[in-house]
């Protein structure tokens, strides 16, 4: 929290004092509260029969008339400020944190000279300090008169009640702000939980769905397979099941932290090997849709500094998207190369493509999205790539395919 301070002078002792004032994180004084304070200071000034009742707010270099009574003869204006160079009445109240009563400043050697309030004939003063609940200074509440006034105990008690009302309002404002922040945190937590469940649905459902379809296909055609062919198919399905399990494990591990606050574990990662492993993971899906994969790497090893799990998850979701929205018999081009001191990875398909409007909405999470067809996996990919200081671009045309470009 950014702290703020003000330097005031206690005139009677000549002491300068630095006090902590309301930080910029303090709640705003809302109009309904200001209206209530206006009513309080108006009534108080009329009961005590003085021309001026004020609620003063201490700022860093000046003290401000925050609320003034609407009484005849009040020489002060709301919003008016006075620099902290005089040792004003209110400065002493704030510095001592005590009541100050001055019946007639013109009869006091301390208060008569170099006093802007006396200059406008406000010679009598009664003031009390106002503080925020944590002790930071708000300012003062005070009454001023153009004649000698000793303010009887009833009037002092009335002003004390006004002070208590104001400080109670400040306490309520702080409590309301804290409650609003807690509600916002709770809403964010619920949003993250909803997003996480959607991500699990998207990431795990895709892998299990492919396994289910191929198991059904294998059962239907089992009599047509010889033993080596069947063994190869089962081995491939086992690899896919293991990869889906690892995906679930990673997601559940990440769920222990907010996905948005998860920090990457940066290591050297061979992009080519990551892509090859993912192509093996998706080989059954490629076969099912008869998709041809065309890959082109500038070299056998292209190493980047990244969180491998995040990079794998991002690429897996991008390739999964390319498969899902590709045409049967279509192509997927995967490239990795160096350009301008960056590693560039491209995943391009010949599928249905997207309109510019759809591209713009691609990474916007909508509460209530189920994950199916909602781009949830791409949202996770974008967030993880952002955490790895990687840039993700999407270029697409309707019926002309889509190209995802990652620059690390």
Alpha helices (H) along 221-298: 227-254, 271-281, 283-289
Residue 331: Cβ-neighbour burial (10 angstroms; 0-12, 13-18, 19+) = middle
Tens digit of pLDDT for each residue in 55-70? 999 999 999 999 999 9
Which pTM value belongs to this model?
Answer: 0.56
**Residue 152, SS3?**
coil
Whether 265 and 354 share a structural domain = yes
Same domain, 145 and 210: no
**Residues 237, 217: contact at Cβ < 8 Å?**
no
Percent above pLDDT 90 for the chain: 59
Average pLDDT of the chain, as a whole number: 87
- pLDDT of residue 313 exceeding 90: no
**Are the C-beta atoms of 53 and 140 separated by less than 8 Å?**
no
Q: pLDDT, tens digit, for every residue of 364-385?
A: 755 444 434 445 678 878 888 9
**Poorest-confidence range of 139-143, 237-241, 300-304, 337-341?**
237-241
Q: Is the pLDDT of residue 167 over 50?
A: yes
Q: Which two tokens stand for residue 103?
A: 């019946």
pLDDT of residue 254 exceeding 60: no
Into how many domains does the chain fold? Answer: 2
Identify whether residues 145 and 229 lie together within a single domain. Answer: no
pLDDT exceeds 70 at position 260: no
* CATH number of the domain within which 338 lies: 3.30.565.10
What is the extent of the structural domain holding 41?
Answer: 4-151
Q: Are residues 115 and 51 in the same domain?
A: yes
Whether residue 317 lies inside any domain: the answer is: yes
CA distance 350 to 251: 30
335 occurs within a structural domain: yes
Do 145 and 294 fall into the same domain? no
Distances (CA, A) of 81 to 62, 115, 116, 120: 6, 15, 12, 15
Confirm whether 191 is domain-assigned.
no
Same domain, 383 and 319: yes
């Amino acid at each position: 929290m950014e702290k703020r301070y003000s330097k005031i002078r206690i005139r009677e002792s000549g002491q300068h004092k630095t006090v902590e004032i309301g930080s910029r994180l303090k709640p705003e004084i809302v109009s309904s509260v200001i209206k209530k304070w206006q009513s309080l200071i108006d009534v108080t000034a009329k009961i005590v029969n003085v021309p001026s009742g004020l609620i003063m707010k201490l700022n860093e270099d000046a003290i401000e008339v925050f609320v003034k009574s609407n009484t005849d003869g009040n020489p002060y204006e709301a919003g008016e400020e006075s620099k902290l160079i005089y040792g004003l009445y209110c400065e002493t109240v704030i510095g001592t944190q005590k009541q100050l009563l001055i019946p007639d400043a013109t009869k006091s050697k301390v208060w008569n000279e170099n006093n802007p309030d006396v200059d406008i004939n406000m010679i009598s003063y009664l003031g009390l300090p106002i503080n925020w609940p944590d002790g930071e200074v708000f300012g003062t509440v005070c009454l001023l008169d153009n004649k000698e006034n000793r303010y009887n105990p009833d009037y002092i008690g009335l002003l004390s009640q006004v002070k208590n009302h104001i400080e109670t309002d400040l306490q309520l404002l702080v409590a309301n702000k804290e409650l609003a922040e807690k509600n916002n945190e709770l809403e964010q937590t619920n949003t993250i939980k909803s997003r996480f469940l959607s991500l699990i649905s998207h990431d795990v459902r895709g892998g299990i769905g492919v396994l289910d379809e191929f198991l059904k296909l294998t059962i239907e055609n089992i009599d047509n397979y010889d033993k080596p062919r069947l063994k190869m198919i089962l081995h491939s399905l086992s690899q896919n099941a293991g990869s889906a399990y690892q995906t679930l494990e990673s997601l559940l591990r990440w769920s222990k932290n907010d996905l948005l606050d998860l920090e990457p574990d940066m290591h050297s990662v061979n992009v080519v090997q990551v892509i090859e492993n993912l192509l093996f993971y998706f080989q059954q899906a490629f076969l099912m849709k008869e998709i041809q994969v065309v890959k082109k790497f500038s070299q056998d090893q292209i190493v980047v500094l990244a969180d491998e799990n995040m990079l794998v998850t991002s690429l897996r979701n991008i390739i999964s998207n390319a498969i899902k929205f590709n045409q049967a018999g279509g192509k997927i081009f995967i490239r990795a190369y160096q350009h301008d001191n960056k590693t560039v990875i491209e995943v391009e398909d010949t599928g249905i493509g997207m309109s510019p409007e759809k591209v713009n909405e691609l990474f916007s999470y909508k509460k209530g999205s189920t994950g199916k067809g909602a781009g949830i996996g791409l949202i996770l990919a974008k967030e993880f790539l952002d955490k790895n200081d990687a840039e993700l671009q999407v270029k697409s045309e309707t019926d002309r395919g889509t190209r995802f470009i990652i620059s690390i």
